[in-house]
Amino acid sequence: MGKNEINRITIGSTQKALTIVNLKNLKISLPTIEIQIKIVHILKSLNEKIKSNLNLLSKLEGLSQTLFKHWFINFEFPNEEGKPYKSSGGEMVESELGEIPEGWQIDLIANLSKQVSKGTTPRKKDLESCEEEINYVPFLK
């Protein structure tokens, strides 16, 4: 209906034109006011949900940054007893980047595996049945 109505009021055979005069005569069918009100309520509800989700996403992003800093900058990840590693007396050693937990090392990602290549994460059953260690780096989109 909409496209046909526009085609009906355009002029010209080679280069179609839509004049202001014809555009003013364009007939548009609208839903009843009751249906329009229902549409408005649905769209308003969706907008509120989007705002709520964006707010939640922002809070979760802040929380994840705080947790990352707490665990991997301050080295307060949970130890075997569930207590913060460093402040519970976890052993720290000097490195070229400053103190790091004992047993950790600074290295290039290329040295973590014989071959680093793009691929898929191994299936869980393949990891469970494999006798040798499989090094892989999961890539997130």
Ordered DSSP codes for 116-129: -----PPPHHHHHH
For residue 136, being part of any structural domain is answered with: no
Given this model, what pLDDT does residue 76 score? 96
Do residues 45 and 68 both lie within one domain? yes
Evaluate if pTM is beyond 0.85.
no
For residue 141, being part of any structural domain is answered with: no
The count of domains in the chain is 3
Do residues 68 and 43 both lie within one domain? yes
Which residues of the chain fall short of a pLDDT of 50? none
Do residues 17 and 41 both lie within one domain? no
Do residues 65 and 83 both lie within one domain? no
Using CA atoms of 23, 25, 26, 31 in order, give the dihedral in degrees to the nearest 10: 140
Instruction: From 45, 73, 101, give the residue that closes a domain.
Output: 73
Do residues 80 and 107 both lie within one domain? yes
For residue 139, being part of any structural domain is answered with: no
- Average confidence score pLDDT of the chain: 85
For residue 133, being part of any structural domain is answered with: no
Provide the residue range defining the domain that includes 12. 1-30
Given this model, what pLDDT does residue 18 score? 85
Is residue 84 classed exposed, middle or buried when 0-12, 13-18 and 19+ CB atoms within 10 A define those classes?
middle
Given this model, what pLDDT does residue 114 score? 59
For residue 62, being part of any structural domain is answered with: yes
Given this model, what pLDDT does residue 4 score? 82
Task: Give me the percent of the chain exceeding a pLDDT of 70.
Answer: 82
What is the rounded distance in angstroms from the CA atom of residue 62 to the CA atom of residue 39?
35
Given this model, what pLDDT does residue 35 score? 97
For residue 122, being part of any structural domain is answered with: no
Do residues 68 and 46 both lie within one domain? yes
For residue 64, being part of any structural domain is answered with: yes
For residue 44, being part of any structural domain is answered with: yes
